[in-house]
Amino acid sequence: MRLAIIGGGGWGTALSIVLAPRFERVRLWVYEQDLAERMQNSRENDVFLPGARLKDNVAVSSVLAEAVEDAGIVLGVMPSHHARRVYDDLLPFLTEDMLIVSATKGLENGTLLRMSQVINDVVGNRFPPRTGVLSGPTFAREVVRGEPAAVVIASHDIGLARTVQAAFSGPTFRLYTNSDPVGVEFGAALKNVIAIAAGVCAGLGLGANTVAALITRGLAEITRMAVAAGGQSQTLAGLAGLGDLVLTCTGELSRNRTVGFRLGRGEKLAEILGGMRMVAEGVQTTYAAMELCQRLAVELPITLQVHAILRQGRDPRAALRELMERSLKDE
């Protein structure tokens, strides 16, 4: 089976490296033509993952038709706010026998759709797509160093999940199957919002007690939202929920935690984002999550305060005080 990876950021590049030994051929689509040409020649992504060398069987292209030609699995790793456009552009080159797996973490602004729903919305105009979602606690730099990592492949189509599990699993990259893509995608998206809050706490100089409480209550928020949308609570206790949440809230490689840290230190959001080359999905996801929680009538107090900091410029200490002084209740 041949693999096409759509998205040449840090995670897409890392996946091309770790999965290359499992496939005869991997094609990596990179949006920027100049970067794609440099990567093909130098065998390195000097923008998003410098120092990590591509395997010999990885071909880099900025042409979508070339990237997905004869692919058995199409793995989407583009930012969430570009997903619909990229899948629209991909549509003429997709076939019914391809397995389409989303590794994008986020919600679509406006529609509030999960990424697998975006795929169904776009590709369903031609044929019913076979879709799955890939998520779990992973930093690209650690994966390409060969450090052991475990993730989840979730799909309503258990045959697809098992096919991807067998194709992707290797000595340092272990996949577990799951039948709850709704829960997995909400865990993947909303953990970035909580990670911004965790970064704010670190920027304010707060310690482990605060972060532990934040992670625990953040998991409760994510679980409430996922269940209200049709997901299963036990999914959020696994790799795509608690596992990814802990990693993103505590790891210094987390872009969303970094945004929060700098906000906690008093920097302005526009300045922070203006200096970042890589995408911090949690910012846009916060806006979408606030709309969705109103639609589903779900209470998300941490997300509400993160939204106030991002959108209204609320002082982080005032946001924290409001969280702590809410009416008392049972756990």
Give the residue numbers annotated as catalytic, written as ranges.
191
- Nearest Cα to Cα of residue 45 among 66, 30, 24, 64: 30
Contact at 8 Å (CB) between 292 and 112?
A: yes
Tokens of 5: 């990876």
